[in-house]
Structures are given as structure tokens and as C-alpha cells.
Amino acid sequence: MRRPVALIALTALAVAGCGDSNSPPTAGPSTVPSSSSVPSSPATTPTTSAEPPAQTPTATETPVPKPSCVDQKLQALTLREQASQLIMTGINASGMTAAQNAVVRQKAGAVFLMGSSGSLAHTKTAMAAVNSAATVNGIRPLIAADQEGGQIQRLKGSGFDRIPAATVQGTWSSSKLTSEAQQWGGQLKQAGVNVDLAPVADVVPSSLKSKNPPIGQLNREYGDTPQEAGQGVQAFVQGMRKAGIATSVKHFPGLGRVSGNTDFAAGVVDDVTVRGDADLQSFADGIEAGTSMVMISTATYTKIDPKNRAVFSPTVIQGMVRGDLGWSGVVITDDVGAAAEVAAVPAGDRATRFVAAGGDIVINAKSGLTATMVNALVAKAQQDQSFAGKLTSSVRRVLTLKQDHGLVSCG
């Protein structure tokens, strides 16, 4: 049963520790009582047996638990390696170029696939190279693809099913969509991909479909009401979960009412959506179904935070996602590398402002900007203790997600 947006409150995933073993507290030194301290009984003849020696009381020692596996991994990373865990760098789906390879070898925490792919077998080989280049201290990278269906399907070669658009998926029963999504997720898993940057939870009112470039015109929505959209979102998330694939509901707080595409246009504004809007229910449904991440839009929502794009807004991320929706997991950006919407914002600021607002993973389609973003995160953390704490919390959430998907080796 779906719960209202305002009542969603999810408990953070439990982090499994690597083992606890502590020596029991030692007893204090014993003392031998003097004869004067041992009362004699006038009614009996003293025997040769003595009373048990008294024990000197000692303070109870509190066992100190060992750090969890995630905390051990976190503590082993340098500050630069921690910052690198927060950038998802774009690489070619068909395989890394030499320049991309050099970036990934700096221990990139995550990559996402762009352009056309080859077959499933070819993709598997290419992703093995990514794992080899990026793994650090037993921590493997997140490898993501936009595998929604219809016009938004990155991996299409032999071995990958052609996925219909969300508008078609939305006409199926929940059980059928879950089953199909599990199959699509299984193909991603075989190819070495562990994240699907889907499903779209945006609601596009039927009256705006032809006027909505990012979603409606591309048939990316599951329905034109929160109920229809939420049903499709839940079924898709559940199917991917069964296949072991992480998902990201997107693009909070929704792109269904805008008239511009943030990838290609700047100044995209939603002047309708409000905090607690009914159209946000589909995001709450995705969280309830077990999504792994919540993706934040780069548009500006004037009735929520007129001064900041959503990705840079504490009101949106801390207030609405983490507060209203109760989400304690990973929050990820829409692309802030190549997107026209943020082109005027210095690249380093795109990363630091997002993390400062409560976000975790920065999607960067331009691999040449990754070093700039990492450097900015490191510099900000070195100068600002409060920001350093936020960065550490973000890395912990990312490592927890990775551990949940078998990408962190402990032992």
C-alpha cells in the first residue's frame, strides 16, 4: 500500500561489520584478608578451611567494537580517493578512450556509459577493463547506464533486449513489468553493469505532453497521474532489484511541467510544483519499492527555492528528499558535466555546491572535468571542517550502497 509522501520514512540500510572480538575485562588483584577481618564463631570449632578471598572491585570495562567494514574502507582512503568516490565520470559505452582510461585510473568511484555500445559480450570485456583500472582497496566502481527503454536505451547490441518506451511499459500489469525488468537487469549484470539510471518518476500532465521536451516528447513517463507513474516506477525498481541492479528514480522534484530540456537549454524553470506536491508521490513509491538512489533535477523550482537550482538546493535535498521523504541513502545529480543548464557555473563549484546541499554522487559527462571536480572537493574539505564532515558522510553512503551490491570486499 502506498503511503503519503509526507509519511515516508525509511530506515538506513544496516552496515555489516567485519567482525568483533574483544578480550574480556580482567579481574582486579585479590587481597588476602587479615585474621582480624575474619569473624570467629563461638559456637563452633574453627576449621582449617578459609573463607574465599575478597575481590577488589574494578570499574567495568566497556568493549570497544571494531569499525564496520564500510568504516574500515573509508578510513583507509586518502582524502583525494574519498572525493573520487563522489564523481561518476562519463566514458564511451564501447570502451574507454586513452584519455578516459587515464581519468578512470585515478581510481574513479563511478562511471556511466555514453554513446553506442557493442554486443553484451563486448560490453562485458570493456567493463572488466573499467573494474581493473578503478578498483581501490577492494572497492569496485559503480558502472551505470541509461537503460530506460524507447529512445533512452544506451546498450542495444546483441544480447540486449530492445526495451519499449515507458509509455508502453506503463500499460502492462505490474507483474509483467517486474518480470521484464528483471530480465533486462539480468542482461546488465552479465555485461558488468551494476546501475541502471532509471526509472523516470516524473509525472507529465496529459495537457503538457507535447510541450514537455525532456520527458513527454520522448515518451519517458509511465503515466500522466502520480498513481499511474508510481505503479510503473515500483514495478520497474522491484524487477531490477531482483536482478541485483541498483536503480535511481529521477528527476526529483520532477521535469514533467517544464518547457525546456536542461541538457540543451539554460534557465529551465518550473513555476508550478510546490513542496509536498501530489506529483511527488511517484518518487515516494520508488523509495518504498527499494530504489538505490534519488536523482535531482538541474531545473529551478521557483515555488520551492527560487534562488537555487534543485541540485544546489538544501531545501530540495535536505528538506524534501532527506526530510519529507525520509531518504537516508544516496542522492545523485542529473548530468552537471555537459548540461547547458549549469554551463555558467564553474565546474568545481558544481561538485562542492551539490555536496554542501546534502548530495552524494555527481554525474559528469565530460571526463576532462573530473580532476577539476575532485580537486575542488579536496580543497573545500581541507578549508572547511563542516564541509569535510559532509563529504565523509557522502562517501560512507556511497560505500554502503556499494557493499549492498557486492562491490566492497571485506575480510
pLDDT digits (tens, 9 = 90+) for 37-83: 333 333 334 444 444 455 554 555 666 677 799 999 999 999 999 99
Distance of alpha carbon 66 from its chain centroid, rounded?
25
pLDDT of res. 34: 37
Average pLDDT over residues 172-191: 98
User: Residue 410's pLDDT band (boundaries 50, 70, 90)?
Assistant: confident
For 326-359, give the secondary structure using H, E and C: CCCCEEEECCCCCCHHHCCCCHHHHHHHHHHCCC
Residue 407 has pLDDT above 70, yes or no: yes
Higher pLDDT residue, 51 or 98? 98
| Predicted confidence (pLDDT) at residue 30 exceeds the cutoff of 50 | no
pLDDT tens digits, 378-393: 999 999 999 999 999 9
pLDDT at 305: 98
Outline where 32-84 has alpha helix (H): 69-76, 79-84
Name the band, by pLDDT with cuts 50, 70 and 90, for residue 249: very high
State pLDDT tens for residues 203-230: 999 999 999 999 999 999 999 999 999 9
Whether the CB-CB separation of 144 and 197 falls below 8 Å is answered with: yes
- pLDDT of 270-327, one tens digit each? 999 999 999 999 999 999 999 999 999 999 999 999 999 999 999 999 999 999 999 9
Judge whether residue 13 has pLDDT over 80.
no
Q: Are strands 246-252 and 195-196 parallel, antiparallel or unpaired?
A: parallel
122-164 pLDDT tens trace: 999 999 999 999 999 999 999 999 999 999 999 999 999 999 9
Round the average pLDDT of the chain to a whole number and report it.
Answer: 89
Distance CA 209, CA 216 (A): 4
Strands (E), 228-347: 246-252, 269-270, 293-296, 300-301, 330-333
Tell me the three state secondary structure of residue 110.
strand
Domain-wise residue ranges, the chain = 67-75+82-404
Q: What is the pLDDT of residue 64?
A: 64
pLDDT at 88 over 70: yes
Q: What residues have CB less than 8 Å from 386, skipping those under 6 apart? A: none
In which band, very low, low, confident or very high, does the pLDDT at 184 lie, cut at 50, 70 and 90? very high
| Contacts for 154 with CB less than 8 Å, ≥ 6 apart | 93, 113, 114, 115, 117, 145, 146, 147
Dump pLDDT digits (tens) for 367-377.
999 999 999 99
More confident residue, 121 or 20: 121
Query: Does 26 have pLDDT greater than 50?
Result: no
pLDDT at 62: 64
May I ask the CATH class of domain 67-75+82-404? Answer: alpha beta
pLDDT band at 116 (very low <50, low <70, confident <90, very high): confident
Q: Is the pLDDT of residue 245 over 90?
A: yes
Q: Which pLDDT belongs to residue 67?
A: 78
Hey, how many other C-beta atoms are within 10 angstroms of the C-beta on 385?
A: 8
Instruction: Calculate what percentage of the chain has a pLDDT beyond 70.
Output: 84
- In this prediction, residue 193 has a pLDDT band, given cuts at 50, 70 and 90, of very high
Nearest CA among 190, 283, 182, 192 for reference residue 234: 283
